[in-house]
């Protein structure tokens, strides 16, 4: 199976994530896209994040209308730190080594990959699919190859989609009581409202 994995904090999951999932699924003819909800992200600057159970619940709601999408609790269930290298190794095992893994990230995350835990192992286990993000500089790929040897062969840089939505902007808007209904799926908007998130 050709399996896309979109890892994220999903605080909250938004229409940009869904758009990315749909486009990568179509462009690379994937069978499924797994939305991998991070348990306790190591490199997030903002320590105030919504509990993993609520982010998982929102992500399940967000993907519920899409047959080829699923939300995974793999990282949320794991004790302690969550590392992508570890998650990919577990996904590899679960598919008995038969799945082809495509890890999807936004261009804003590509340059930082060199400081992730064991990036060499990450690019050995998966293809890395990079989607553009507004206001994000393209990463110097020659330098990246020097830092993570072998990455160029595993890199798929897509031209689109270009979606101007971010979770931090949604949290900011929600905290001011502004309307976020065009930025997240309706069920996620309801969940945020009912659970008084981001106030």
Would you give the binding string for ligand ATP spanning residues 77-106, x where CB under 6 A is met? Answer: ----------------------------xx
d(CA 172, CA 92): 37
Q: How many CA atoms lie within 13 A of 77 on its CB side?
A: 7
Among 166, 173, 187, 198, interactor with ligand ATP by CB under 6 A = 166
Helix intervals (H) in 28-112: 52-63, 74-77, 84-94, 107-110
Instruction: Select the residue interacting with ligand ATP from 42, 152, 168, 181 (CB under 6 A).
Output: 168
116 closest CA partner among 45, 42, 52 = 42
Please state the separation of Cα 136 from the chain's center in Å. 17
38 or 96, CB closer to ligand ATP?
A: 38
> Least Å distance between CB 35 and ligand ATP?
9
> CA Rg, the chain, in Å?
16
Number of shown-chain residues binding ligand ATP (CB under 6 A): 18
Which of 18, 59, 133, 185 forms a contact with ligand ATP (CB under 6 A)?
133
Q: Does residue 39 belong to the site contacting ligand ATP (CB under 6 A)?
A: no
Q: Which residue is nearest to ligand ATP (CB)?
A: 106
Tokens at 102, concatenated: 């495509």
Residues at the interface with ligand ATP (CB under 6 A): 8-11, 16-17, 20, 105-106, 108-109, 131, 133, 163, 165-168
């Amino acid at each position: 199976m050709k399996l896309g994995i979109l890892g994220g904090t999903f605080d909250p999951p938004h229409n940009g994530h869904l758009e990315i999932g749909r486009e990568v699924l179509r462009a690379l003819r994937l069978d499924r896209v797994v939305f991998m909800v991070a348990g306790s992200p190591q490199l997030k600057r903002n320590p105030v994040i919504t509990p993993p159970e609520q982010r998982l619940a929102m992500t399940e709601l967000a993907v519920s209308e899409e047959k080829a999408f699923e939300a995974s609790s793999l990282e949320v269930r794991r004790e302690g730190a969550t590392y992508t290298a570890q998650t990919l190794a577990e996904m590899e095992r679960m598919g008995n080594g038969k799945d082809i893994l495509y890890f999807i990230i936004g261009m804003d995350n590509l340059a930082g990959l060199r400081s992730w835990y064991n990036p060499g192992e990450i690019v050995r286990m998966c293809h890395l699919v990079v989607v553009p993000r507004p206001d994000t500089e393209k990463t110097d790929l020659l330098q990246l190859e020097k830092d993570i040897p072998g990455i160029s062969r595993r890199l798929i840089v897509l031209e689109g989609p270009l979606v101007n939505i971010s979770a931090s902007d949604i949290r900011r808007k929600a905290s001011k009581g502004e309307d976020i209904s065009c930025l997240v799926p309706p069920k996620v908007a309801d969940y945020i409202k009912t659970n008084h998130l981001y106030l």
